[in-house]
Structure 1
Amino acid sequence: MASRLSRLIAACLAGSVLTVPVTALAQDRILRIGMTAADIPRTLGQPDQGFEGNRFTGMTIYDSLTAWDLSKADEPSVIIPSLATEWAVDPEDSTRWTFTLRDDVTFHDGSPFNAEAVVWNVEKVLNEDAPHFDASQVGVTASRMPTLTGARAIDEFTVELTTSEPDSFLPFNLTNLFMASPSHWQAKFDETGDAEAAWAAFAADPSGSGPFRVTAFSPRERLELAPNADYWNPARTPRLDGVVLVPLPEANARTAALLSGQVDWIEAPAPDAIPQIESRGFTIHSNPQPHVWPWQLSFAEGSPWLDRRVRHAANLCFDREELQILLGGYMGIPKGTVDPEHPWWGNPSFDIRYDLDEAQRLMTEAGYSAENPVRVKVQTSASGSGQMQPIPMNEYLQQALRECYFDVELDVIEWNTVFTNWRRGAKDDSAAGANAINVTFATMDPFFAMVRFTSTKAFPPVSNNWGHFGNDEIDALIEDARTSFEPEERDAALARLHARIVEEAPFVWVAHDTGPRAMSDRVTGVVQPRSWFIDIAPMDMQ
């Protein structure tokens, strides 16, 4: 199905032309961005390419009911209203939520946003009997909001959402459900007579309600966006003439494109090129992010990581300060999924640090030695959303862990393939013998930070518990947090959960990202929030 959809999209794009001449890009106020992705993230409403997709084709073309506040650099991002102005859980039935919607929003095609549009967008990923259901969008949506079960329009601008169980995390989850235009899709369906073909046509000519609209699209080459002058939020109505997204998965290629003036902004510049970038007058924007760069470990039968001593030893065996130097200083040193000052910290008894002697002692106790190392295989990518510098970082770990009797094999594959394998799990054939996977993740909300990796209800394909980690104790702690609707009670429950996760160590916690991105000094209005995301809409070009 995926290959067929790719052919359909290509057919829909065959007649498209670039609306902005290449020679004009540097003269106009066009912001050109070099992404780490190897392809343009999907444009049909639910992006792929991890959260880089959300950043560049989700939050630009579309809106969600709730959103992250990305307007501040000195405070953590929090959930704010977006297409919904307010929401509340039913005090009599905590599986029902009421969302009040904005009444002044239209999609790019001119059709209105309303409660029926919300129901339609929920059904596109949850209702297999809906004529517009799209299985290709399910994996990057349903796994991010696994308790959402349905939606019902109460009136034109009020919608009821239901969950399979009480879930205080739902407002966080809904930041990932982007609202596409039902009317625009219907027009594509009327033209094609086939749902899959309609989605392919929609992807080539999408319609959301976001601050930008698509004007030209060439897969693996470029996506061009123009401002939505009628955008409903004045604070995010674009000042730019347009945005061009260019896939540049290799760090040195991105750096060369910036230095030569081909782009104005690159994600994750090559660390050893940062002094040159700065000496040439470019600015490095960076801020500590709620983000983990880990190895996620397999608990499948036969995995060497089933022994907690081995898991602890791997977390103790390498010097993160040395790795931080390798990355030009653009890395945070983790003590767990969240830092000790975070309300979810919980003071775990296992201290993540560099302690070679203790790591070697644990490995010896577990039966390993230099003559009898433990063999582990790690799937990773050469680039990708939030992956920082995956090849040099993994090669560093490969060398460092030898001192603790680990024989590490790296399986380097394309980022989107790694991401797909992540959803399939360690027991799936796609693991190809790997017993660890390197996929970075955001820790902005409880579900993304902890629940989807530790709940036994989150085993693949439901969500991202790739390693099949979990037990009754962890599930009970999750239940406490999920059913706590008061923030202080929820934080206390999450602190207990985080402490147990660190103690059990289903990850090798390697780094926190600081999100370095290099930009031309022509780019103004940049706010680098304490978030995985950044908002392009308020930016401008001198």
Structure 2
Amino acid sequence: MSTDISRRAILSAAVAAPMLPAHATAQAETVLRVAMTVSDIPYLGGQPDQGGEGWRFVGITMFDSLIHWDLTRSDRSSTLIPGLALSWEADPAERRRWVFRLRPGVKFHDGSPFNADVVVWNMAKLTDERAPQYDPRQIAQTFGRMTAVVSTEKIDDLTVAITTRTVDALVPYYFSRIMMSSPAQWDRVGGSWDAYDRNPSGTGPYKFDRSARRERLELVRNPDYWDPTRIPKHDRLVLLPIPDPNTRVAALLSGQCDFIEAPPPDAIARLRSAGMQIVTNIYPHTWPWLLSRLEGAPTTDLRVRRALNLAIDRAGIVTMLQGLGQASVGQVPEDHPWFGNPSWRIRYDPAEARRLLAEAGYGPRNPLRLRVTVSPSGSGQMQAMLINEAMQQMLREVGVEVTFEVIDWNVMGQRRSQGAHGPGQAGVHGLASSTSSLDPDLAFVTVLASDKIPPRGINWPNVRNPEFDRLADAIRAEFDPAKQDALIAELNARMVEDATWLFVVHDLNPRAMSPRVRGFVQAQNWAQDLTPVRME
């Protein structure tokens, strides 16, 4: 199926290429064509699916959030900056209540104004089952964060107050990925999210033009965007879902696209020799196997989890990736302020792995058998099957037999939001799902705290660790950045000691692009800003 999708995407690009001048007026249109790793166009309702790529290519292109990430620098970690909200703060008298002061003069692509009523309407689509605009598809993409919200109150046309169940210093991170849809457009298309998906309206730097599911999405420059520094430097953005990495390479080399995500390591030399640009950067992202903690799963045993981690030759995997990755021995790299000082360290030690497995009751006559759900491609999955199959062999060498259930990345996201106890996941011991280390919530709290077990978060394994819960609560209650960092570092150290996940690699986020592409800045973020790109 993936190959068929890829071929149709390439054919669609080839057929469309000679048609592009038909959109030109006084001069030829400048077009940036990007090949994504996903198998379909992300959902266009406002909260896109397809993971980080949905956020990157639909979320911040067509839509805006109250809070943005600064994506203008490649030499430092991204920070939060004003978006549709000019400022935000926790009420000193009631720290569960956050006041957002909104940006004046912003309009949706359909011409309707952005204001406090719009924020209240959008929060209802994610929190109020009685609201006609309530949309479970968009809720599924909020990582359970909106379950923390108790109420949204309009103070005046440009001020709203959002109240959470508990004091939570991480609230600003939540609203960096909550996108605003147009109520006026939703009404105009008949009050249907399916219809809105076919004719969406946001406030972003690109406007929707046309789409064909599984083939292409075309966006055009929004000359009236509220931030003049982010008005695109090209006229049209064409997004192509091409999940097969070799097909993406072929599309770039043949001139049928200009920019590809995640080129395979063995194609880098060929791409460079053809004059293509290869761009990498440190990336707040880790690629692990999440390990089930459901009763009866062998991975509830600490000895088993540590043995699995000791069986993986991460340096060998990095070599296999030709340096397009970094060994992961925790949720963040060892030189990160959040790494901490764990008393037990992840390393490559197959002899110790065998000893621990034997102590746990596994050996040649009783091998440990695991079933792991994986996806062949998708947002942040790197070279998924290449890594998974290498790990399968490494684990076999210490007496662990692993079988894979291979599913589409978007289905993977659904599985993660349902938890290990969810439908269709009986007998699954692991989920190979990339995860963000960009912010403390997505990196730690919402994936570890017991109150974030699905559907209230994305603690897929069903981890219930009192020490994790204590630290998660302390992080959410701490507004001093230095003290919060110290708590996060302690939580990462406990996570390493617990071998909570099977850690593998951190992503260096490679991209390849035509020499015609100029002005791209690869930020240290899952999101990337395409608006500065010029086509020469």
Which of the five TM-score ranges fits, normalised by the shorter chain?
Answer: over 0.9
Residues in 2 aligned to 1:319 and 1:249: alpha-carbon distance in whole angstroms: 27
* Between 508-517 and 415-424, the greater mean CA deviation after superposition: 415-424
Judge conservation of contact 2:325–2:508 (CA < 8 Å) in 1. Answer: yes
Judge conservation of contact 2:288–2:505 (CA < 8 Å) in 1. Answer: yes
Residues in 1 aligned to 2:146 and 2:433: alpha-carbon distance in whole angstroms: 19
**Residue correspondence of structure 1 range 84-483 to structure 2 within 5 A:** 84-141=85-142, 143-189=144-190, 195=191, 198-483=192-477
What is residue 488 of structure 2 aligned with on the other side? 494
Judge conservation of contact 2:108–2:201 (CA < 8 Å) in 1. Answer: yes
Residues in 2 aligned to 1:365 and 1:25: alpha-carbon distance in whole angstroms: 65
Amino acid at match of 2:473: E
Identify if the C-alpha distance between structure 1 residues 142 and 186 changes in structure 2 by more than 3 Å, giving closer, same or farther.
farther
String of CA shifts for 1:221-253, please: whole Å, max 9, x gaps. 100000000001111111111100011011111
Residues in 1 aligned to 2:100 and 2:137: alpha-carbon distance in whole angstroms: 27
Listed as ranges, the gaps of 5+ residues in structure 1 are: 1-16, 190-194
Amino acid at match of 1:372: N
Aligned-pair CA distance for 1:370 = 3.0
**What secondary structure does 2:176 align onto?**
helix
Aligned-pair CA distance for 1:150 = 2.3
Judge conservation of contact 1:145–1:170 (CA < 8 Å) in 2. Answer: no
Residues in 2 aligned to 1:368 and 1:414: alpha-carbon distance in whole angstroms: 32
Judge conservation of contact 1:288–1:332 (CA < 8 Å) in 2. Answer: no
Amino acid at match of 2:401: D
Residues in 1 aligned to 2:337 and 2:95: alpha-carbon distance in whole angstroms: 24
**What secondary structure does 2:525 align onto?**
coil
Residues in 1 aligned to 2:77 and 2:275: alpha-carbon distance in whole angstroms: 29
Judge conservation of contact 1:378–1:408 (CA < 8 Å) in 2. Answer: yes
Judge conservation of contact 1:114–1:156 (CA < 8 Å) in 2. Answer: yes
1:59 aligned onto 2:53: no
Residues in 1 aligned to 2:464 and 2:497: alpha-carbon distance in whole angstroms: 13
String of CA shifts for 1:388-409, please: whole Å, max 9, x gaps. 0111110000000112211000
Listed as ranges, the gaps of 5+ residues in structure 2 are: 1-11, 22-27
String of CA shifts for 1:94-151, please: whole Å, max 9, x gaps. 1101011110211101111111111111111101111211122111126144412321
* Between 441-450 and 336-345, the greater mean CA deviation after superposition: 336-345
Residues in 2 aligned to 1:363 and 1:21: alpha-carbon distance in whole angstroms: 56
Aligned-pair CA distance for 1:352 = 1.3
Identify if the C-alpha distance between structure 1 residues 21 and 409 changes in structure 2 by more than 3 Å, giving closer, same or farther.
closer
Aligned-pair CA distance for 1:303 = 0.6
Residues in 2 aligned to 1:521 and 1:28: alpha-carbon distance in whole angstroms: 18
User: Considering only aligned residues, what root-mean-square deviation do their CA atoms show, in Å?
Assistant: 1.5
**What secondary structure does 1:376 align onto?**
strand
Relative to the length of structure 2, the TM-score reads: 0.94
What is residue 12 of structure 1 aligned with on the other side? none
Identify if the C-alpha distance between structure 1 residues 129 and 440 changes in structure 2 by more than 3 Å, giving closer, same or farther.
same
Aligned-pair CA distance for 1:525 = 0.7
Residues in 2 aligned to 1:79 and 1:430: alpha-carbon distance in whole angstroms: 38
Residues in 1 aligned to 2:475 and 2:170: alpha-carbon distance in whole angstroms: 9
Judge conservation of contact 2:447–2:459 (CA < 8 Å) in 1. Answer: yes
Identity %: 45
Amino acid at match of 1:78: T
Judge conservation of contact 1:151–1:162 (CA < 8 Å) in 2. Answer: yes
Judge conservation of contact 2:290–2:461 (CA < 8 Å) in 1. Answer: yes
Aligned-pair CA distance for 1:34 = 0.6
Residues in 1 aligned to 2:339 and 2:403: alpha-carbon distance in whole angstroms: 32
String of CA shifts for 1:462-507, please: whole Å, max 9, x gaps. 1111110122221111111100011111111111211111111220
Residues in 1 aligned to 2:252 and 2:426: alpha-carbon distance in whole angstroms: 37
